[in-house]
Chains A and B, each alone.
Chain A
Amino acid sequence: MKKYLSLLVVALLLLAVMPASAQDLIFEVGEGDFSWDSYQEFADAYDFSGQEVEIFGPWIGEDQELVESVIAYFEDATGATVNYAGSDSFEQQIIIDVEAGSPPNIAIFPQPGLAANVAADGGLVSLGDETRQWVLDNYAAGQSWVDLGTYANAEGEDDFYGFFYKVDLKSIVWYVPDNFTDAGYEVPETMEDLIALSEQIVADGGTPWCIGLGSGDATGWPATDWVEDLMLRLYPPETYDAWVTNELAFNSPEVVDAIETFGMFSKNDEWVNGGAAAAASTDFRDAPAGLFTVPPQCYLHRQASFITSFFPEDVELGTDVDFFYFPSYAEKDLGNPVLGAGTLWAITEDSDVARGFLEFLKTPISNEIWMAQSGFLSPHTGVNLDTYANDTLRGQGEILLNATTFRFDGSDLMPGAIGAGAFWTAMVDFVSGADAQEVADQVQAAWDAISE
């Protein structure tokens, strides 16, 4: 017993002397291309000395370090203490916290759908018209971002709750510039060009696309991104919006058309590395490898900005591999729609310092700090693009800023049983041989079954 007691004492002592994790500022104030004046201005306007703010989000590990590197500037500017807690089961935890009446001040939602659920339970605090107007004025495709952050509250009235910060871009096609040069191909400007290029590659004896839909228990999701991206290129955004809420039935001709267009790319043995059977069973993380073989197994790979993490280690972004915007049809005249995802910040427990933190997120500097590191894109039009860590990120940031329409990943907006279930299965069945109408009917049937 004595032995245990002494162990306990030692343990408690160790706890006591462990240093509080005070973080240093990662970039020195005043140096580099950062908008330091926005930082200075913010620091002069706010003083929250001695106050605390709790933030809860989905980021752990490296992402947690990154977000904390931004938070450190807020603490430095205002004197407030920010306690960030991350969890990989954020989705379950936030519901429990809100229901239990002990929410954090600010919650970082990875999907609008989840935030909308919490808002409907009366768990979110309105950000007000001023912030809403600010997003309209300062974000590219501002209306899209406002719409994505607007939900019905417990009384059923729409209000603005979600402030987007940190965005992922999905509408991009990866290619190896050297392979293009060798074969004499050019980066296509329109969807028509892209299709012509694919045909050209086949005619030259190559394979245009690498597609991989495998993702363990989420197999099929990469195909949903394809269909969503094509939906935005074939039909106006209103059609897309109606589709994700099922106002437009899943088995409508428009949706079937988008699925069939995806089939043009994925179900054509000549167009896909390994044939259609390989597309369905190849892991999405392995799929891009075909770009880098000699001779190349494929020339094109459509995947979101995060896929760079799964490129072979020695591949250098910008030189060994580059990307272009997944183009829109020239003849459709639908502008430049962009598909993406992102995190939205919402106030779950109101306080001055929580409001102050959202004000901080409006400053260019709060975006630039993360932009200069990795994995962060911003639709904020006031940021200095020079602060992006590399040309690849900068190029993706530019696609976001050029967007005329931004739409959130549709499967994330659909009810979970559809967007993270029936839709995936349908895409797998489709690529494995079923026809588009059949699988669309199947999803609509599942949708009917949940809304009974």
Chain B
Amino acid sequence: MDLNFENVINAVIAIVIGVGALIIYFFGSNWLLDNIFRDVVREDGHVEKSRESIREAIRPWLFVGPAIILLGLYLVYPAIQTVILSFFDENGNEFVGLRNYQWAINDGEFRQAVTNNILWLVIVPAASTAIGLLVAVLADRVRWGNIAKSLVFTPMAISFVGASVIWKFVYDYRGPNNPQIGVLNGIVQALGGEPQAWITITPFLNSFLLMIILIWIQTGFAMVVLSAALRGVPEETLEAARIDGANEIRIFFNIMVPQIMGTILVVWTTITITVLKVFDIVLAMTNGQWDTEVLANYMYDWMFRGGGDFGRGSAIASVIMIAVIPILIWNVRRFQQEEAMR
């Protein structure tokens, strides 16, 4: 009990010191800048402009600088270090060239993880975006649409591990003579079928069942963003199409979808990046067993389990990083194009 209390006090002290330091930095650095490059007033009372332009050139860096330093320290440096480590042995001491990558290519489980990751990448973003779009379009047309939207959105608030625990119960299996506590097997049994140990069914079925969890979580995100985009479709164009005699399905595919294509792609790629990092669900549900391994989980396995192998862990991490880069570049390009259009 008093241990918790101590923690709370420590947290309070940390916050006070942290916020205080920031305030001091902010005012202090600006004060320094203003004093070092003080305006030079000529004898005729005219203020020289050059000093001011120096000040204004430096000032943004006072704001952005700490963030850049922190990003460099916590993001860029580890990323570079990871790539470097991937060329070293398990302790990070001896340079081994491409041996870790060579190992990965020849490793059956790594190839399995790559295959599964590709499956995840194809299915989850597509399904989440499609279902999200469907809900966004349809929910606006019914009276209880908002309730439906809230329900679809709720899983977003649940952590991945929490969601896994919930779905563990959905897929739970007990022997055929025992009462089933899993929803899925409950249904199967009520329909007269044999209960199944779902998460052990290979090939692929168990991976699909794990994907459903992520789809369940991500659909809410897709729905909210797409719903907002749909509001942006001008009512007049829809009206015009209706007057021209287009049915609802044509309106959806020929007017709504093209108008919000940019948003759909952003949602799609955002979910794609989430999927590339998928880890918690697999760890909590199967830990990659029964052929459900994915890259992030496999990396964790090599990096941290039982002493760990920095080289191989880093090599797998680098592969994931390389896979994310094209999607990121594409996303940034699109964003810049849209900015330019404005």
Contacts and interface: CB of A to CB of B under 8 A. Distances in A.
A419 B287 contact: no
B175 A274 contact: yes
A18 interface: yes
A217 B304 CA distance: 13
B200 interface: yes
Given A8-B16, A449-B103, A278 B173 contact: yes
A425 B302 CA distance: 14
A277 B174 CA distance: 9
A340 interface: no
A346 interface: no
B93 interface: no
Nearest to A215: B287
Contact of A421 (B23, B103, B301): B301
Residue from the set B9, B23, B197, B302 with the largest chain A CB neighbour count within 10 Å: B197
B28 to A, nearest CB: 14
B94 to A, nearest CB: 12
A11 interface: yes
B337 interface: no
Nearest to B289: A428
B178 A274 contact: yes
Contacts of B196: 277
Interface residues of A, number: 44
B203 interface: no
Interface string A1-34: 1001001100110110011010000000000000
Contact of B197 (A15, A277, A421): A277
Contacts of A425: 288-289
A416 interface: yes
Nearest to B291: A429
B19 interface: yes
B315 interface: no
Contact of A220 (B6, B199, B284, B289): B289
Contact of B302 (A14, A417, A428): A417
B13 interface: yes
Chain A at the B interface: mostly helix, strand, loop or mixed?
helix
Contacts of B162: none
A1 B20 CA distance: 8
B125 to A, nearest CB: 25
Given A281-B199, A428-B289, A117 B174 contact: no
Contacts of A18: 2, 5-6
A219 B176 contact: no
Contacts of A21: 2
A224 interface: no
Contacts of B176: 274-275
A218 B309 contact: no
Contacts of A424: 289
Nearest to B165: A216
B247 interface: no
A17 B196 CA distance: 60
Contact of A416 (B19, B202, B307): B307
A450 interface: yes
A434 to B, nearest CB: 11
Contact of A219 (B9, B173, B287): B287
Contacts of B326: none
A126 interface: no
Given A278-B174, A281-B199, A11 B12 contact: yes
B175 A417 contact: no
B225 to A, nearest CB: 32
A418 B309 CA distance: 12
A432 B178 CA distance: 20
A218 B174 contact: no
B316 interface: no
B3 to A, nearest CB: 9
A216 B2 contact: no
Contact of A280 (B200, B283, B288, B308): B200
Nearest to A445: B108
A416 B308 contact: yes
Contacts of B90: 450
B286 interface: yes
Given A219-B289, A415-B307, A278 B9 contact: no
Interface in B1-38: 2, 5-6, 9, 12-13, 16, 19-20, 23
A196 to B, nearest CB: 24
Interface string B268-293: 00000000000000011011111000
Given A4-B19, A218-B287, A449-B107, A278 B307 contact: no
Nearest to B283: A217
A273 interface: yes
A117 B289 CA distance: 28
A282 B2 CA distance: 39
Nearest to A280: B200
A8 B20 CA distance: 11
A420 interface: yes
A297 interface: yes
B50 interface: no
B284 A217 contact: yes
Given A278-B197, A297-B178, A416 B286 contact: no
Given A7-B16, A274-B176, A421 B289 contact: no
A280 B290 CA distance: 10
B306 A419 contact: yes
A275 B175 contact: yes
Interface in A398-446: 415-421, 424-425, 428-429, 432
Contacts of A278: 173-175, 197
A228 B197 CA distance: 26
B305 interface: yes
Residue from the set A15, A417, A428, A429 with the largest chain B CB neighbour count within 10 Å: A417
B336 interface: no
A428 B174 contact: no
A219 B23 CA distance: 50
Interface in A294-336: 297
Interface string B81-110: 000000000100000000000010001000
B102 to A, nearest CB: 10
Contacts of B308: 416
Given A4-B19, A11-B13, A281-B197, A421 B305 contact: yes
B160 to A, nearest CB: 13
12 contacts: A8-B12, A8-B13, A11-B9, A11-B13, A11-B16, A15-B9, A216-B284, A273-B178, A280-B197, A281-B173, A415-B306, A421-B301
Nearest first, the 7 closest Cβ-Cβ pairs linking A and B are A416-B306, A274-B175, A277-B197, A217-B287, A420-B306, A416-B307, A281-B197
Given A7-B12, A278-B197, 12 more contacts: A4-B19, A19-B2, A216-B284, A219-B287, A274-B173, A274-B174, A274-B175, A416-B305, A416-B308, A417-B305, A421-B305, A452-B103
